[in-house]
Amino acid sequence: MTEEPPLVEVSNLRVRFHTPTRIVEAVRGLSFSLGREKLAIVGESGSGKSMTGRALLDLVPWPGEVQADAMRFKGQDLLGMSGEARRRLRGRHISMVMQDPKFSLNPVMTVGRQIAEAYQLHRKAGKAEARDRALAMLEDVLIREPSRVFDLYPHEVSGGMGQRVMIAMMLIGEPDVLIADEPTSALDVTVQAQILDILEKLVTDRGMGLIFISHDLPLVSAFCDRVIVMYGGRVMESLPARELTKGQHAYTRGLLGCLPDLDRPVRRLATLQRDESWLRGG
């Protein structure tokens, strides 16, 4: 059996923003590789987890600057690739579900047409076929009346439904790698479980690679295979998801410690004590 290159390889990724007064370092030296698995990137807001996803897709907004020793998709060098080539990968091979459906869907186009458009673009398909596929996709993400929802505008759907529309749109191109940025944080627990089942199935059945960006530690510990814990653009710790609770780093322990637990009532919640040295060390 020949060795298959990992789906994604990133080595020493840095994302910087040059502002008039200073340089903001969003990601400082991140390295990881992704196979056909569920990799979680966790951390608080501002830890650089979303920027990592955007850097892979070449979607870091101006004036951001991306540098890395290596960044490869299935062995192809992403850094040396033209903008046009990166664009062809986007959506078709690597796609990203953004955090907030309110701001990520086109407000003046029905959600069904947006999903069908994605299919037409990536698959060079006709209109009727794209419509059928979009309806099937809406059904796959557990939307009860796909033909009714197809004709709704984004402002007419709830947050949870909007999130599922986004997931449908990103999956219709059948990408090899899906980056999901807080895909379930707007959903109710029951719907959340269903969406996770869909993602799980795609990873096991189709061999998709999933990068799951989240700040919900218990959720990723239960759902993902591996976890990278980020703080201030740096990796604090990388470990198997099931062993997240055995994490050694003070930051991981701090994050776990401040969660309320139904079965272990405490009078006061522990708060996170941050340490400057986390940003300096390796």
Q: Is 28 in the site for other proteins (CB under 8 A)?
A: no
* Contact pick of 22, 62, 189, 205 for other proteins (by CB under 8 A): 189
For 57, the token pair is 């897709």
**For helices 159-171 and 127-140, angle between their N-to-C axes, nearest 10 degrees:** 130
Residue 6 or 53 with smaller CB distance to other proteins: 53
CB atoms closer than 10 angstroms to residue 39: 24
Q: Residue 221 CA to chain centroid, in angstroms?
A: 16
Residue 20 binds to other proteins (criterion: CB under 8 A): no
Kindly state whether residue 269 participates in binding other proteins, applying the rule CB under 8 A: yes
Q: Is 238 exposed, middle or buried (0-12, 13-18, 19+ CB in 10 A)?
A: middle
How distant, in Å, are the alpha carbons of 33, 43, 67, 259, 261 from that of 237? 15, 11, 22, 19, 24
- Name the residue nearer to other proteins (CB basis): 175 or 247: 247
193 scored as a contact of other proteins (CB under 8 A) = yes
Regarding 19 and contact with other proteins (CB under 8 A), the answer is no
Q: Which is nearer to other proteins, 94 or 143 (CB)?
A: 143
Q: Which is nearer to other proteins, 53 or 247 (CB)?
A: 247
Beta strand 177-181 with 8-18: parallel, antiparallel or unpaired? unpaired
Residue window 156-175: x/- pattern of binding to other proteins, with contact defined by CB under 8 A: --xxx---------------
Q: Which amino acid is at 212?
A: F
Q: What is the CA radius of gyration of the chain?
A: 19
Q: Point out which span in 120-128, 142-150, 165-173, 211-219 binds other proteins (CB under 8 A).
A: 211-219
**Nearer Cβ to other proteins, position 1 or 189?**
189
Contact status: 248 vs other proteins (CB under 8 A):
no
**58-97 positions binding other proteins, by CB under 8 A:** none
By CB under 8 A, residue 136 contacts other proteins: no
Applying CB under 8 A, the site for other proteins has a residue count of 35
- For residue 94, the one-letter residue type is I
State which of residues 128, 190, 205, 280 lies at the interface with other proteins (CB under 8 A): 190
Binding flag, residue 124, other proteins (CB under 8 A):
no
**Token digits for 268?**
């006061």
Residues 8, 77: contact at Cβ < 8 Å? Answer: no
CA–CA distance, 7 with 176 (Å, rounded to integer): 8
Interface ranges with other proteins (CB under 8 A)? 44-45, 158-160, 188-191, 193, 215-219, 221-222, 244-245, 254-256, 258-263, 265-266, 268-272
